[in-house]
Amino acid sequence: MTDLSGLSAREAVGEIARGKLSALEYATALLKRTQEIDGEIKAFIHFDPEHVLMQAERLDEQRLSGRPLGPLHGVPVAIKDIFDTADYPTENGWGAHAGRRPRRDAEAVRRLREAGAIIFGKTVTTEVAYFNPGATRNPHDLSRTPGGSSSGSAAAVAAGMVPLALGSQTNGSVIRPASFCGVVGVKPSHGTISRAGVLLLSKKLDHVGVFARGVDDAAMLLDVLAGHDPEDSDTRIHAARGFAATAAGEPPLPPKLAFVRTQRWDRADPSTQKAFEELATSLGDHVEEVELPDYFATAWDDHRAIMAPDMAHRFGAAVDASGEASSKQLHELIAQGRGYSAERYLGALGNVQRMRASLAGLFERYYAVLTPATTGPAPKGMPTGDPVFNSIWTMTGQPCVTLPLLSHDDMPVGVQLVGAFGDDARLLRTANWLTQHVAPKKRKKARR
């Protein structure tokens, strides 16, 4: 049974489709593992084993009846608790939303069900996917943070409770917990996955992202989730997705990566600085160091100048009314957001356009940017960590992936690759290429 928790989603789908494994057996194994370890890790906030078994039984009946199977038939997926679900509460990690029960699934959840996935449970998020942490601990070391805001989703995948999970990123909320927990995290290009039915912090900044233990699994999940949705006007119309098919191929030319330190390199741990410099050197001709133009220096302030007013606009009145049901940090963010002028807000949006245009030029010359995912391994205690290596790429909407290729202090450290806007499939292919190049030397097993 234990082995089943190590299956990739792709393997599981294959076994189930061939009748070698039933959805019920697979779900039962993952339930058992979750019940054994989640008392300590605390990845899930809403979790109903009977409901999981019922979904699995129904999927097995469907298979036995000869009806066609979806691309995720029988695969349990964990859902960050800011995605509306019709069968589980959705509390957004927020005291003010305690007991909230949406009537409809978020579009991303609806697509999962349609693809035959099992909605396994809802995972812990920081308060309104912002700062104040939930109860989840890092599966590699319970005294450390799993990172946030998608804390439970990253931890559940890392600990083998599920092979796949949904998260969201407004600053670093997918890439950072994935790096801290030693899994693959993907934040696709802005507008790739619908945010309808997901707690909205900032239309410009919010992204749906995914967690998996390998790039191919993440690509398979993106194939199910990506697409236009009239309910989210930022979603783009894709002629074809084909993330998994492209990711599995060989790059037609030897990839060229741009090693980017950013203007905040000093915020990286010395061990992280050293590891990335060694990694860049070890990749030889595949890597050139590139400096971002000076005007990227405002990026972090610009990010704040967009996010804080957007959140004050969305949540201001509700946070005021919630009193002590909201954290001090959230009250402070709202107050800060209210202090921004419209001119500063619009100036920040203008700066983002300029940065995006500059990056478009960069990605004509390089397959991807190579840069840290986090400042280092997960810190001790529960602060969810620093998103300093995420803000630029989130704000400009680039696709990002973090790969668990490094480690320090026996803790995983992610390597982030950032791609050209809209070219997510090629980025995943480059990620597979890098994994194959680096893996023999550095790959570590996650604790499970």
Pairing relation of β-strands 207-212 and 164-169?
antiparallel
22, 153, 173, 189: the active-site residue: 173
Q: Where are the beta strands (DSSP E) in 124-245?
A: 164-169, 184-187, 207-212
SS3 53: helix
Of 279 and 306, CB closest to a copy of itself? 306
Residue 345 interacts with a copy of itself (CB under 8 A): yes or no = yes
Among the candidate windows 50-58, 156-164, 335-343, 428-436, which touches a copy of itself by CB under 8 A?
335-343
User: Does 80 participate in catalysis according to the annotation?
Assistant: yes
Count the site residues for a copy of itself by CB under 8 A: 18
282 is catalytic: no
Structure tokens at 207: 């992204």
Distance CA(28)–CA(427), nearest Å, equals 35
Q: How far is the CB of 345 from a copy of itself (least distance, A)?
A: 4
Alpha carbon distance 336, 306 (integer Å): 11
The correct pick among 6, 242, 347, 422 for binding a copy of itself (CB under 8 A) is: 347
Which one, 253 or 342, has the nearer CB to a copy of itself? 342
Check residue 230 for interaction with a copy of itself (CB under 8 A).
Answer: no
Q: Which stretch binds a copy of itself (CB under 8 A): 23-31, 60-68, 340-348, 440-448?
A: 340-348
Q: What are the backbone angles phi and psi of residue 191, rounded to the nearest 5°? A: 90, 10
DSSP reduced 3-state for 334: helix
Candidates 337, 385, 397, 414; binder of a copy of itself (CB under 8 A) is 337
Crossing angle between the packed helical segments 215-225 and 424-442, to the nearest 10 degrees: 160
Tell the smallest beta-carbon distance from residue 305 to a copy of itself (Å): 8
Region 237-266 residues binding a copy of itself, contact defined as CB under 8 A: none
Residue 159 identity: A
Six token digits for residue 128? 């309104």
For 123, the 3-state DSSP assignment is strand
Kindly indicate which of the ranges 40-48, 239-247, 304-312, 367-375 contains the residues binding a copy of itself, using the contact rule CB under 8 A: 304-312
User: In the set 302, 310, 423, 424, which binds a copy of itself (CB under 8 A)?
Assistant: 310
Q: Which of 98, 142, 346, 439 binds a copy of itself (CB under 8 A)?
A: 346
Q: Please say if 204 is a catalytic residue.
A: no
Which of 5, 22, 42, 80 is an active site residue?
80
Q: How far apart are CA 148 and CA 131, in angstroms?
A: 8
397 binding a copy of itself? (CB under 8 A): no
Q: Are 322 and 96 in contact (CB under 8 A)?
A: yes
> Between 100 and 236, whose beta carbon lies closer to a copy of itself?
236
Q: In one letter, which amino acid is 332?
A: E
Rounded Cα gap, residues 30 and 55, in angstroms? 14
Measured between alpha carbons, how far is 154 from 141 in angstroms, rounded to an integer? 14
Does position 315 interact with a copy of itself (CB under 8 A)? The reply is: no
In the complex, least distance from residue 228 CB atom to a copy of itself, rounded to whole angstroms: 13
Phi/psi zone of residue 292: left (φ > 0), alpha (ψ -120 to 50 degrees), beta? beta
Closer of 89 and 347 to a copy of itself (Cβ) = 347
Nearer to a copy of itself, 50 or 343 (CB): 343
Tokens 């058992």 found at: 32
Phi-psi region of 277 (alpha: psi -120 to 50; beta: other; left: phi over 0): alpha
Closer residue to a copy of itself in complex, CB, 182/337:
337
343 binds a copy of itself (CB under 8 A): yes
For a copy of itself, the binding residues (CB under 8 A) are 305, 309-310, 312-313, 316, 337-347, 350
Catalytic residues: 80, 149, 173
